[in-house]
Structure 1
Amino acid sequence: MAKQSIMSILSKRNILIPLLVFSMLIMLPNLTLAKKRGGRMNVIDRCWRRDPNWRNHREQLARCSVGYVGKMNNNIGGGLTWYIVSDPSDDAIHPKPGTLRYGVTQVKGKKWITFKHDMKIKLAKPLLVGSFTTIDGRGAKVEIAGGACLILRKVTDVIIHSLKIRNCKAQPAGDVLNHDGAIMSIGPVDGDAIRMISCAKIWIDHNTLATSPDGLIDVTRGSTDITISNNQFIDQNKVMLLGHDDGFLRDRNMKVTVAYNKFGPNCHQRMPRVRFGYSHVVNNIYKGWGLYAIGGSMDPSVRSEANLFIAPKNGKKEVTWRKAMNIAERKKINFQSIKDIFENGASFKESDGDGNSVKPNYNKEQYFRIAVAINLRKLTRAAGALKCPPVGRC
Structure 2
Amino acid sequence: MHITMALQGITKIAFLWRFALALVIVMLFTPKATLAKRSKKKAGLDMNVIDQCWRLNPNWRSNRQQLATCSVGFAGKMTNNTGRGLIQYVVTDSSDNPLNPKPGTLRYGATMIGGKKWITFQRSMNIKLEKPLLISSFTTIDGRGAEVHIAGNACLMIYKASNIIIHGLRIHHCKPQAPSSVMGPGSKIMTVGQVDADAIRLVTASKVWLDHNTLYKCNDGLLDVTRGSTDITISNNWFRNQDKVMLLGHDDGYMRDKNMKVTVMYNYFGPNCNQRMPRIRYGYAHVVNNLYQGWMQYAIGGSMNPSVKSQANHFIAPKSGNKEVTWRKSTDEKTGSWKFFSVGDVFENGASFAQLGTSGAKLGYNREQVFPVANARSVKLLTKSSGAIRCTSRFRC
Q: Give the structure-1-normalised TM-score.
A: 0.93
Q: Report what 2:29 is aligned to.
A: none
Contact 1:336 1:355 in 2 (8 A): no
Could you tell me how far apart the structure 1 residues matched to 2:23 and 2:338 are?
Answer: 61
Could you tell me how far apart the structure 2 residues matched to 1:315 and 1:23 are?
Answer: 64
Q: Report the CA distance between 1:4 and its aligned residue.
A: 7.7
Could you tell me how far apart the structure 1 residues matched to 2:59 and 2:149 are?
Answer: 24
Q: 1:36 to 1:345 in 2, by over 3 A?
A: farther
Could you tell me how far apart the structure 2 residues matched to 1:382 and 1:327 are?
Answer: 37
Could you tell me how far apart the structure 2 residues matched to 1:281 and 1:365 are?
Answer: 18
Q: Report the CA distance between 1:16 and its aligned residue.
A: 5.6
Which of 11, 14, 22 is the aligned partner of 2:13?
11
Q: Deviations over 1:32-61 (max 9, x none)?
A: 976542110100000000000000010000
SS at match of 2:384: coil
Is 1:207 aligned to 2:209, yes or no? no
Could you tell me how far apart the structure 2 residues matched to 1:133 and 1:235 are?
Answer: 29
Which of 313, 338, 343 is the aligned partner of 1:338?
343
SS at match of 2:330: coil
Is 1:370 aligned to 2:376, yes or no? no
Q: 1:9 to 1:64 in 2, by over 3 A?
A: same
Is 1:269 aligned to 2:275, yes or no? yes
Contact 2:40 2:56 in 1 (8 A): no
| Letter aligned with residue 141 of structure 1 | E
Q: Report the CA distance between 1:333 and its aligned residue.
A: 2.1
Report which stretch shifted further, 94-103 or 253-262. Answer: 94-103
Q: Deviations over 1:61-120 (max 9, x none)?
A: 000000000000110001100000011111111111111011111111100000000000
Which of 260, 264, 282 is the aligned partner of 1:258?
264
Q: Report what 2:323 is aligned to.
A: 317
Q: Report what 1:121 is aligned to.
A: 127
**Matches of residues 66-85 of structure 1 in structure 2 within 5 Å?**
66-85=72-91
| Letter aligned with residue 120 of structure 2 | T
Contact 2:312 2:376 in 1 (8 A): yes
Q: Report what 2:308 is aligned to.
A: 302
Report which stretch shifted further, 182-191 or 74-83. Answer: 182-191
SS at match of 1:83: strand
Q: Report the CA distance between 1:334 and its aligned residue.
A: 1.3
Is 1:390 aligned to 2:396, yes or no? no
Could you tell me how far apart the structure 2 residues matched to 1:279 and 1:117 are?
Answer: 36
Percent of aligned positions with the same letter in both sequences? Answer: 56
Q: Deviations over 1:162-187 (max 9, x none)?
A: 00000001001111111211112111
| Letter aligned with residue 77 of structure 2 | K
| Letter aligned with residue 382 of structure 1 | S
Q: Unpaired segments of 5 or more residues in structure 1?
A: 25-29
Contact 1:166 1:211 in 2 (8 A): yes
Could you tell me how far apart the structure 2 residues matched to 1:249 and 1:265 are?
Answer: 33
Q: Report what 2:362 is aligned to.
A: 359
Q: 1:20 to 1:264 in 2, by over 3 A?
A: farther
Q: Report what 1:107 is aligned to.
A: 113
Could you tell me how far apart the structure 2 residues matched to 1:55 and 1:304 are?
Answer: 35
Give 4+ residue runs of structure 1 displaced > 6 Å after superposition. Answer: 1-6, 18-24, 30-33
Q: Report the CA distance between 1:390 and its aligned residue.
A: 1.0
Contact 1:283 1:307 in 2 (8 A): yes
Q: Report the CA distance between 1:2 and its aligned residue.
A: 12
Which of 27, 39, 43 is the aligned partner of 1:37?
43
SS at match of 2:15: helix
Which of 179, 184, 187 is the aligned partner of 2:185?
179
SS at match of 2:280: strand
Q: Report the CA distance between 1:328 and its aligned residue.
A: 2.8
Is 1:164 aligned to 2:170, yes or no? yes
Could you tell me how far apart the structure 1 residues matched to 2:50 and 2:25 are?
Answer: 35
Contact 1:54 1:393 in 2 (8 A): no
Q: 1:23 to 1:234 in 2, by over 3 A?
A: farther
Could you tell me how far apart the structure 2 residues matched to 1:37 and 1:4 are?
Answer: 48
Could you tell me how far apart the structure 2 residues matched to 1:140 and 1:40 are?
Answer: 24
Q: Report what 1:50 is aligned to.
A: 56
Alpha carbon RMSD of aligned pairs, Å?
2.4
Q: Report the CA distance between 1:358 and its aligned residue.
A: 1.2
Could you tell me how far apart the structure 2 residues matched to 1:23 and 1:319 are?
Answer: 58
Could you tell me how far apart the structure 1 residues matched to 2:105 and 2:386 are?
Answer: 27
SS at match of 2:66: helix
Q: Report the CA distance between 1:18 and its aligned residue.
A: 7.7
Which of 221, 229, 232 is the aligned partner of 2:227?
221
SS at match of 2:221: coil
| Letter aligned with residue 365 of structure 1 | E
Aligned length: 386
Contact 2:223 2:247 in 1 (8 A): yes
Contact 1:52 1:392 in 2 (8 A): no
Q: Report what 1:27 is aligned to.
A: none
Could you tell me how far apart the structure 1 residues matched to 2:275 and 2:338 are?
Answer: 18
